[in-house]
Structure 1
Amino acid sequence: MRIPPYHRQPGWQRFFAGMMAGAAAAWCVFLFTYGVLQEKQVKIIQEQKSAVLELTRKNSIYQEDSRELNEEVNKKLVVQELNVKLTNGERFKLSPLTIHKIEIEAKKDLSDLLERDLESIFESRKIIKKAIENKVYRIDDKDYRLLVKEMTIYTTLYLEVEVSFVD
């Protein structure tokens, strides 16, 4: 098989020359647009990197400040309120007035703990519990003893106690 001699005809020569010139022009346009787009992408990426670095730096500063504030707040937390709840007063058929008096007496014993920081109260929680349990409360010529069932220590010191008669 033989290749036709189109290279000698001027029409075909112009066609192939036009294709080559068009391919070269298209390649130049492609390189130009690709380069411009890549420059834009590089610029956007650099801006995003600098924004991320700045935000990371700010975030670390805020986290450090937040950590310091939390430590200061934790140091400053104090007991502001006392709550004593008698859980089994109905079982012994105690009057609401007697239950209230027992709760008031227990609160009086714990009144020293008001405005003290949580850490020192937490460290002395066993002593507080024993102080409540070992004291005999005399109300209306009857002696009562309290047993601490639950103690919650936060800005409000909450005690759930059970009452029993002293023999």
Structure 2
Amino acid sequence: MRIPPLYRKPSWQRFFAGAAVGGCISWVIFLYMFGVMQEKNGYLIEEQSNKIKQLQDDIKIWQEDYRELNKKNEEMLTIQKIDIRLVGYEKYQIKDRQSIFNVEEAIREDLKSLLAKDLSTVHKNKDIVKKTIENKIININGKRYKFIVQEMYFYTTINITVELKLAG
């Protein structure tokens, strides 16, 4: 087999020369376009990485500020409500719900001065609060009763569970 003698025909020589020159020109155009595109993408990636770093730094700053504000707010928590629950009145046959309500209101009235106070201050003085409740004697249906504090929970609401005992 032989290669056909196309080197003698100028039309084929022009065709192959044009294909070679066109291939070189298209390769140069491709390299230029690819380079421009890569440069844009590199710039975009660098810009995005800088923005991500800046946003992460901002997040750290906001989180630190948020933690500091939470600590300050925890320090500044105040008592907003006092919740009293009376237990043990069933064994003394006290069925009058009005009397139970009046007893709870009397204890709540004694502790009214704790409202709008700092939570930490009230918690430090929890023994005084307990003694205030336990030293109180109240009359219900002609009998004298005293209180024993079973549970006390402190947060923005003070929850106190008080047991009723016969005094004397």
- Taking structure 2 as the reference length, the TM-score comes to 0.77
Deviation, structure 1 residue 17? 0.9
Deviations 1:124-145 (A, max 9, x none): 65x3685378546322332334
Matches within 5 A, 1:117-136: 117-122=118-123, 127=127, 131=131, 134-135=134-135
Partner residue in 2 for 1:24: 24
Q: For 1:151 and 1:117, locate their aligned partners in 2 and report how far apart those are by CA, in whole Å.
A: 16
Match of 2:154 in 1: 153
16-25 vs 74-83, which moves further: 74-83
CA contact (8 A) 1:106 1:132 kept: no
Q: Percent of aligned positions with the same letter in both sequences?
A: 36
111-120 vs 55-64, greater mean Cα deviation: 111-120
Unaligned runs of 5+ in 2: none
Separation in 1, partners of 2:145, 2:7? 122
Structure 1 range deviating more: 64-73 or 130-139: 130-139
Q: CA RMSD in A?
A: 2.8
Residue matched to 2:13: 13
Aligned to 2:97: 96
Q: Which amino acid aligns with 1:47?
A: E
In the other structure, the counterpart of 1:143 is 144
Q: Secondary structure at the match of 1:55?
A: helix
Change (3 A) 1:150 1:16: farther
The 8 Å contact of residues 78 and 118 in structure 2, kept in 1 or not, is answered as yes
Cα shift readout 1:65-85 (whole Å, capped 9, x = no counterpart): 222211111111121321212
Shift of residue 29 of structure 1?
1.0
Alignment partner of 2:52: what SS? helix
CA distance in 1 between counterparts of 2:151 and 2:21 reads 92
Of stretches 61-70 and 142-151 in structure 1, the one that deviates more from structure 2 is: 142-151
1:60-75 mapped onto 2 (5 Å cutoff): 60-75=60-75
Amino acid at match of 1:71: K
Q: Which moved more, 1:151-160 or 1:90-99?
A: 90-99
Instruction: Tell me which amino acid in the other structure corresponds to 1:39.
Output: E
The Cα shift of 1:162 comes to: 4.2
Relative to structure 1, the CA distance from residue 94 to residue 129 in structure 2 (aligned partners, 3 Å threshold; closer, same or farther) is: farther
Please, what TM-score do these two structures have when normalized by structure 1? 0.77
